[in-house]
Amino acid sequence: MADLPTITASRIAELLERTPRSSFVAGRFLGGTASLDVLDPATGRALTQVVDADAPAVGLKALDAAVDVQEDWAATTPRQRSEILRRAYDLCHERADDLALLMTLEMGKPLAEAYGEVTYGAEFLRWFSEEAVRLPGRFRHAPAADEAILTVARPVGPTLLITPWNFPLSMGTRKIAPALAAGCTVVLKPAQKTPLTSLLLMEILAEAGVPAGVVNCVVSSDSKGLSSTLMSDPRLRKVSFTGSTPVGRTLLAQASEHVLKASMELGGNAPFLVLPSADVETAVKAAMLGKFRNNGEACTAANRFYVHSSLAEEFTARLAEETAKLQVGPGIAPGTTMGPMIDAAALEKIEDLVADAVDRGARVLVGGRRPAPASLAAGGSASTDSTDSSDSSSSDGGYFYEPTVLTDVPRAARVNREEIFGPVAPIIVLDDIDEMVAAANDTEFGLMAYVAGEDLGEVTDVAGRIESGMVAVNIGVASDPSAPFGGVKESGLGREGSHEGITEFLEMTYVRLPL
């Protein structure tokens, strides 16, 4: 976005004052005493407080509301549902300034990227407004009888949607839009760290015409209490979760009690393969997006760089050069291209992973530390000086970490096995394409993979052998509302977006008819 608005303290205060701060159930915000801090990761201080709902009690009220209107919502025509979702799409764009600023404040991403998420998140509302009028179904003659086979898609019923903090708007719309398009009612559980964007989305959906009770939102620090209460209730018929694989395993076990339909978008450990035929400039451009977009805090972020030895020196030097240009600072600051990590625990994990790699022999080419406050005040760029700076801290207690490139990373380093979820690019040099593919597949995860190469045969062969739900070739961002998003192995079950996304909220009924 070329011309970003100037953000003032009065603008922030005004937005926070009018943003809802309590759970949304049966068409209204419940109110109450706000006691749960929503932190600004750029300062470590509270932006505001929201009402911390009693998860079992408010969750049941939300499920009651969803169940009460499920039959009526399912009975609305697809065109009615479509038009409501399209109005919500338009309203998101009308409220883009508010949505983008809230996301930057509570999550930390640069403001320009937050505007990009408004566009991306709103597109799910438009895409599924179009899918609502194209629900699957068919009619055909039975092969061996004078009878007909009719299949009809029906909404699965009330759903629990659990979203993460890293994409506060689009993770909500990616689940809510297909659920509503299919005729399902919803209880949304947004992440405790980033509830404000979801609450503003509730306001937008109500204004768009979503009837009371069709979409509900429970804000609570007790995620386990909410999920266990609702998933033990036989009236709930589906759960959709985006988050870590360990939590996903727990939810799948709980879902088995009532055989709930489940969609799981779980952890990632995305490999980025730079093949012998790669164009280095194209590969570096893709790598910068694939690694550092959204502060590196994305399940699709490139986590491990396997570079063919014939290009390793050139690729590594260019990636380090481009990484050093990134500007570290608060997301609302002009020129910022790398914001803070979400919280202290995330920052400490990144530090531990880098320290482990260095202890095992890796070298820090760029970054590798928390930036000094002075560099943040000046806009902050990643430092090429890897000397110790343990006495430096982030401005005002914010959770900043310099964009980092590591080389000579051994295969045994934890960064090869664990999801970094931060701005660290570990480079592993390999001599053989088969070895690169084997290394890419040597993980329990299989969500996203990146391949850089110019030889079509080489690229298609490698892409076909990588165990991943998604593969991006020579590009750093593959997510698209019109494409199926999801992983294999322990990265999840089901798909979001595209035509497949709405089927996750449908059941097929087969009817046998005489002709």
- List the catalytic residues: 265
* Distance (Å, whole) CA 133 – CA 81: 9
What's 431's DSSP letter? S
Nearest-angstrom CA–CA distance, 361 and 273: 22
Q: Which of 483, 510, 465 is nearest to 138 (CA)?
A: 510
Minimal CA–CA distance to 268: which of 447, 466, 418, 492? 447
Q: Is the dihedral of CA 41, 42, 44, 50 positive or negative?
A: negative
DSSP state of 141: E
Q: Which residues contact 90 (CB under 8 A, 6 or more apart)?
A: none
Q: Which of 295, 299, 274 is nearest to 284 (CA)?
A: 274
Contact 512, 148 (CB under 8 A): yes
CA distances from 465 to 374, 435, 436, 458 (A): 47, 12, 11, 11
The 8-class DSSP code of residue 148 comes to: E
CA dist 5 and 357 (Å) reads: 40
Sheet strands side by side (includes 506-514): 137-141, 147-155, 506-514
**Helical ranges in 293-363 per DSSP H:** 312-323, 344-359
State the DSSP code for 409: -
CA 261/CA 254 separation, integer angstroms: 11
CA distance 495 to 487: 8
Number of neighbouring beta carbons within 10 Å of residue 325 = 12
Q: Using CA of residue 428, residue 349, residue 194, residue 243, what is the dihedral sign?
A: positive
Structure tokens of 271?
């490999």
User: Which residue, 37, 4, 5, 44, is CA-closest to 340?
Assistant: 44
Torsion on CA atoms 328, 332, 334, 335, rounded to nearest 10: 30
Residues 6+ apart with CB under 8 A from 456: none
Give the tokens for residue 301: 């972020």
164 SS3 class: coil
| Bridging pattern class, strands 137-141 and 159-162 | unpaired
Q: Is 515 exposed, middle or buried (0-12, 13-18, 19+ CB in 10 A)?
A: exposed
